[in-house]
A and B are shown apart, each in its own frame.
Chain A
């Protein structure tokens, strides 16, 4: 069965078009990654699919239930962990999860049992009886995910689950999401990070300015995007010489980046060695040199011809949570 079917969804806020005819579909049992910069429409789409926002036009079903015609039915089938961890600071982890369980109409005992289950699942059992204001950012996110799992959702929506948390917690969350999927949960997650989508998602949709501009498995997309690049940083005075050296290796003009130059690493690490050798031959000492994966910027450059641009205004218009979000983006 299709986990999500969205057809031609349009949503505008004033003169900002947040979603401009978005369609997507994926099956149950997978992780679907929605990849795009700030303001691309990711959060708005999640809000439509989780019944928080009515689109101007278009239709959507989640786990076979029409989110517009039967929102209450849809809510029985979904879990949502939004961009800011929506947990109560002054309740304990367990109380937070139990309360959500009771709002799913579980009895007191059943809510308790279910809370134990999900808390164990996210490995928060030890901290379960502490107030959330003693939790780290990563723990809050995990608790938020736990709360969204209480109702045994058919489809779990995670809106930028790792934005604004430290790298260690990010890895923990990745593990958690992978475990959930092994347990049979279907997940739709949004992210600004290509590596995150690559790591977690079975299928990836790239969204830009309210359009899905590319869709497929991670391998599909990589094949279309090309592989790794070699990037160097050099002194301003050496840029011209370095560019000519790179052109020799790549057989094409290098791309000028903000801080340096890059060429496709067509032969992998071998390209890196060749670059070092060429630079040495022309007496340019790079300040930094690296073989790196393509970034979201590279993806967008490839797919759209423009760099990923953040349009924070339209994203906050989409979520109506601008204070919380701007706090997120400042990084806590």
Chain B
């Protein structure tokens, strides 16, 4: 007003981290307190794993060399990536629900870091995915899935899939904040997801697809990440089947993860500012 402009007070980085932790805790608490949420966020991926392995496993020949020719060994790394991508829709849903309930208005009227609403949401979804993964790995082992390159490489694969899911959460945050209602977020979110998940190497080798589709299928991020995770789990002698070496795949995966976050985190922040006026 009439007084000399005071220096702008900003929220410090330390406070921003604390606020993110609080919002993350709040979002996770919500999942823990709604039994149906835990149930469906874990049962659904496990069901996919069972269905694809039992129903389709017999019909699908991946053509991988002996020792890795069990379909479960092809499927498991893919299903992990699929779960991460599907799970990212929770980010869109959670944000739109908060928007509708006025919770985001409350947060924005507090002297807290505004970024914490978005980071707290995406990190909460990362935590939930980690939990779901633990269960899936266990079910996978029961169904005959084996990782052949040792625990550290298997865990690296799991971590890459989780990080990819985290990056994808920012895509879903952008979509959710653009469409604003949970119902629209649900359908809009799956629009990019279905082609990315099904036109990929998640369930079947790309070589089995029509020629014109292979270029996209081979290079799109979901395939790259699925193959990377796969390359860290199947026997080393089967790696040649992927047609690209492990190191390059890992680099490509990280490049996709960084690129997606670099593009969609700012877009999500922009949508957030727009969505809330």
Chain A residues packing against B (C-beta within 8 Å): 5, 7, 47, 50-53, 59, 61, 66, 69-70, 72-73, 75-76, 78-80, 82-86, 88, 90-91, 95, 99-100, 102-105, 131, 147-148, 151, 319-321, 323-324
* Known contacts A88-B26, A91-B33, A323-B181; is-contact A52 B9 (Cβ 8 Å): no
Chain A residue at minimal CB-CB distance from B7: A70
Collect the chain B residues with CB atoms within 8 Å of residue A52's CB.
105, 108-109, 276-277
A6–B265 Cα gap in the complex (Å)?
A: 35
B142 at the interface (CB under 8 A from A): no
Known pairs A7-B1, A53-B277, A79-B109. 17 more at Cβ < 8 A?
Answer: A47-B105, A52-B109, A52-B277, A66-B3, A72-B11, A73-B6, A86-B106, A99-B22, A102-B22, A103-B107, A103-B110, A103-B111, A104-B112, A105-B18, A131-B33, A320-B277, A321-B105
The smallest beta-carbon distance between A98 and chain B, in angstroms, is: 10
A72–B8 Cα gap in the complex (Å)?
A: 8
Collect the chain A residues with CB atoms within 8 Å of residue B9's CB.
70, 72-73, 76
Q: In the complex the two chains form, is A324's CB within 8 Å of B1's CB?
A: no
Q: How many residues of B are in contact with the other chain, CB < 8 A? A: 34
* Known contacts A59-B1, A80-B109, A320-B277; is-contact A86 B29 (Cβ 8 Å): no
Q: In the complex the two chains form, is B109's CB within 8 Å of A78's CB?
A: yes
Q: In the complex the two chains form, is A5's CB within 8 Å of B1's CB?
A: yes
Collect the chain A residues with CB atoms within 8 Å of residue B6's CB.
66, 69-70, 73
Collect the chain B residues with CB atoms within 8 Å of residue A102's CB.
18, 22
Chain B residues packing against A (C-beta within 8 Å): 1, 3, 5-6, 8-11, 15, 18-19, 22, 26, 29-30, 33-34, 99-103, 105-112, 181, 275-277
Q: In the complex the two chains form, is B276's CB within 8 Å of A320's CB?
A: yes
Collect the chain A residues with CB atoms within 8 Å of residue B181's CB.
323
A158–B235 Cα gap in the complex (Å)?
A: 64
A323–B100 Cα gap in the complex (Å)?
A: 6
Q: B34 touches which one: A72, A90, A151 (CB < 8 A)?
A: A90
A131–B101 Cα gap in the complex (Å)?
A: 17
Collect the chain B residues with CB atoms within 8 Å of residue A66's CB.
1, 3, 5-6
Collect the chain B residues with CB atoms within 8 Å of residue A85's CB.
102
Chain B residue at minimal CB-CB distance from A325: B102
A95–B27 Cα gap in the complex (Å)?
A: 12
A92–B103 Cα gap in the complex (Å)?
A: 15
A147–B109 Cα gap in the complex (Å)?
A: 12
* Known contacts A75-B109, A88-B30; is-contact A82 B8 (Cβ 8 Å): no
Q: In the complex the two chains form, is A82's CB within 8 Å of B102's CB?
A: yes
Collect the chain B residues with CB atoms within 8 Å of residue A319's CB.
277
The smallest beta-carbon distance between B100 and chain A, in angstroms, is: 5
Q: In the complex the two chains form, is B105's CB within 8 Å of A80's CB?
A: yes
A69–B101 Cα gap in the complex (Å)?
A: 28
Collect the chain B residues with CB atoms within 8 Å of residue A5's CB.
1
Collect the chain A residues with CB atoms within 8 Å of residue B29's CB.
90-91, 95
Q: In the complex the two chains form, is A82's CB within 8 Å of B105's CB?
A: yes
Chain A residue at minimal CB-CB distance from B19: A103
Q: B100 touches which one: A53, A103, A151, A321 (CB < 8 A)?
A: A321
Chain A residue at minimal CB-CB distance from B107: A103
A69–B9 Cα gap in the complex (Å)?
A: 9
The listed residue with most A CB atoms (<10 A of its CB), out of B15, B18, B34, B105, is B105
The smallest beta-carbon distance between B29 and chain A, in angstroms, is: 6
* Known contacts A69-B6, A323-B181; is-contact A105 B15 (Cβ 8 Å): yes
Q: In the complex the two chains form, is B105's CB within 8 Å of A103's CB?
A: no
A69–B275 Cα gap in the complex (Å)?
A: 22
A73–B30 Cα gap in the complex (Å)?
A: 30
A51–B105 Cα gap in the complex (Å)?
A: 10
Collect the chain B residues with CB atoms within 8 Å of residue A84's CB.
101-102
Q: In the complex the two chains form, is A324's CB within 8 Å of B100's CB?
A: yes
Collect the chain A residues with CB atoms within 8 Å of residue B103's CB.
86, 88
Collect the chain A residues with CB atoms within 8 Å of residue B109's CB.
50-52, 75, 78-80
A51–B5 Cα gap in the complex (Å)?
A: 17
Q: In the complex the two chains form, is A72's CB within 8 Å of B1's CB?
A: no
A148–B106 Cα gap in the complex (Å)?
A: 8
The smallest beta-carbon distance between A56 and chain B, in angstroms, is: 12
Q: In the complex the two chains form, is A83's CB within 8 Å of B102's CB?
A: yes
The smallest beta-carbon distance between B63 and chain A, in angstroms, is: 48
Q: Which 9 A-B pairs have the closest CB atoms?
A: A90-B33, A86-B106, A86-B102, A80-B109, A75-B111, A72-B9, A84-B102, A103-B112, A53-B277
Collect the chain A residues with CB atoms within 8 Å of residue B33's CB.
90-91, 131
Q: In the complex the two chains form, is A147's CB within 8 Å of B106's CB?
A: yes
* Known contacts A105-B15, A320-B277; is-contact A80 B106 (Cβ 8 Å): yes
Collect the chain A residues with CB atoms within 8 Å of residue B19's CB.
103
